[in-house]
Amino acid sequence: MEKDYQVVGFRIGNETYGVRIGAVREIVRVPEITSVPNAPDAIEGVINLRGKIIPVMDLRKRFGIEAVQPDKKNRILVVELENKLLGLIVSSASEVLKIPPSEIAAPSTVFAEGESSYVTGVGKLKGRLIILLDIARLLRQPEFKKLEEAAEPVAVAR
Q: For 17-39, b where at least 16 C-beta lie within 10 A, e where not — what string? A: bbbbeebbbebbebeebeebeeb
How is residue 148 annotated by DSSP?
H
Q: What residue spans of the chain are helical by DSSP H? A: 59-62, 135-138, 145-150
The span from the CA of 97 to the CA of 135, in Å, is: 17
Task: Note the pLDDT of residue 156.
Answer: 43
Query: Counting Cβ atoms within 10 Å, is residue 45 exposed (0-12), middle (13-18) or buried (19+)?
Result: middle
Please state which architecture CATH assigns to domain 5-150: Beta Barrel (2.40)
Q: Round to whole Å and give the CA distance between 72 and 56.
A: 17
| 3-class secondary structure, 125 | strand
Tens-place pLDDT, residues 65-118: 776 677 889 999 999 888 889 999 999 998 899 999 999 998 875 666 555 678
> Which residue(s) pair with 127 in the sheet?
none
pLDDT digits (tens, 9 = 90+) for 21-67: 999 999 999 999 999 888 877 788 999 999 999 999 988 888 877 76
Task: Tell me what pLDDT residue 82 has.
Answer: 80
With contact defined as beta carbons under 8 Å apart, do 54 and 85 qualify?
yes
Q: What is the pLDDT of residue 158?
A: 34
Q: Distance (Å, rounded) from C-alpha 49 to C-alpha 76?
A: 11
Q: Where are the domains of the chain?
A: 5-150
What H or E segment, with its residue span, contains residue 29?
strand 24-29
Q: In this predicted structure, what is the pLDDT of residue 148?
A: 57
